[in-house]
């Protein structure tokens, strides 16, 4: 999946066309490690990993200070952080927590905001990241 855009490089490596210059930021590193994402269904679907600027295009303009971050998707690096955010906001309380391992082919990531457990991942075109997040983190924990 590539966030609805078309590739500006070879599939699996390039970034969506709607990414402005400087996105992903230079400080971002290759995606890696265990991560969690609040999703609507498990197995998760492509739509669960759409960046906000694609899912809600009316909200964001490219000159918005948060637009670069809105081009990425929010993940947590701890299950506890995902649970806390889910519980904190009513619109997220029905979500499930998908768990997966990020790899370089998925895109770039950066710890964003003031929460050390929150990362933004800028997903490459056709990375099929949803396939890597097929596990329900809470069921996994019970096993």
Partner 1 sequence: MTYPLPFGTPLGRLVLEEIYDYFDGPRLFAARNDQGGLFLGYWADETQTGESWLYLPITRDRLMQVRSGGIPLARAFRAAEFGYAFRIDIDRESLAATTVAVAVAEIPDDWLPPANDRLARPTRTQPALVPSEVAQRAAKERRDMVGFGLRPWGFTRSEAPLLLLTQSLGSLQGLTEEVGFQIAPRSSGTQHFGLKDREKIERDTKLVAVGSFGGSFGILLGAQESADLFNHSLVGDCLRTITTLLQAGVDERLLHLRLRHLRARVSLRYRDLFQTLARLHSGLTFEWSSPRIGRRAKLVIELPEVRRIAEIVSRTTSETGPEFTRRARLISANTRSGGYELRGVPGWEKYIGHAEKPEGIADLRRASFDAVYDATLREITEANPLTGEVMTRHLLVRLARSGSQAVDA
Q: Which of 3, 16, 24, 51 binds partner 1 (CB under 8 A)?
A: 51
Q: Is 77 in the site for partner 1 (CB under 8 A)?
A: no
Which residues lie below 8 Å from residue 134, measured CB to CB, with a gap of 6+? 42, 43, 44, 98, 100
How many residues make contact with partner 1 (CB under 8 A)? Answer: 28
Q: CA–CA separation, 54 vs 114, rounded Å?
A: 24
Q: Is 84 in the site for partner 1 (CB under 8 A)?
A: yes
With left for phi above 0 and alpha for psi between -120 and 50, is residue 53 left, alpha or beta? alpha
Q: Which of 101, 113, 116, 141 binds partner 1 (CB under 8 A)?
A: 113
Q: Which of 21, 22, 27, 114 binds partner 1 (CB under 8 A)?
A: 114
Q: Is 34 in the site for partner 1 (CB under 8 A)?
A: no
β pairing state of 118-123 and 73-76: antiparallel
Q: CA–CA separation, 21 vs 18, rounded Å?
A: 9
Place of tokens 């200070």: 65
Q: Which is nearer to partner 1, 26 or 58 (CB)?
A: 58
Binding footprint of partner 1 on the chain (CB under 8 A): 38, 51-52, 55-56, 58-60, 64-66, 69-70, 73-74, 84-85, 87-92, 112-115, 118
């Amino acid at each position: 999946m590539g966030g609805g855009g078309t590739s500006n490089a070879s599939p699996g490596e390039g970034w969506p066309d709607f990414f402005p210059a400087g996105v992903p930021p230079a400080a971002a590193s290759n995606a890696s490690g265990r991560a969690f994402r609040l999703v609507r269904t498990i197995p998760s679907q492509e739509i669960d990993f759409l960046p906000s600027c694609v899912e809600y295009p009316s909200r964001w303009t490219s000159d918005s200070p948060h637009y670069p971050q809105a081009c990425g998707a929010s993940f947590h690096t701890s299950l506890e952080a995902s649970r806390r955010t889910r519980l904190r906001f009513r619109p997220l309380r029905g979500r499930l927590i998908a768990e997966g391992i990020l790899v370089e082919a998925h895109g770039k990531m950066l710890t964003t905001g003031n929460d050390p457990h929150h990362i933004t991942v800028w997903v490459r075109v056709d990375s099929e990241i949803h396939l890597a997040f097929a596990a329900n983190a809470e069921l996994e924990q019970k096993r």
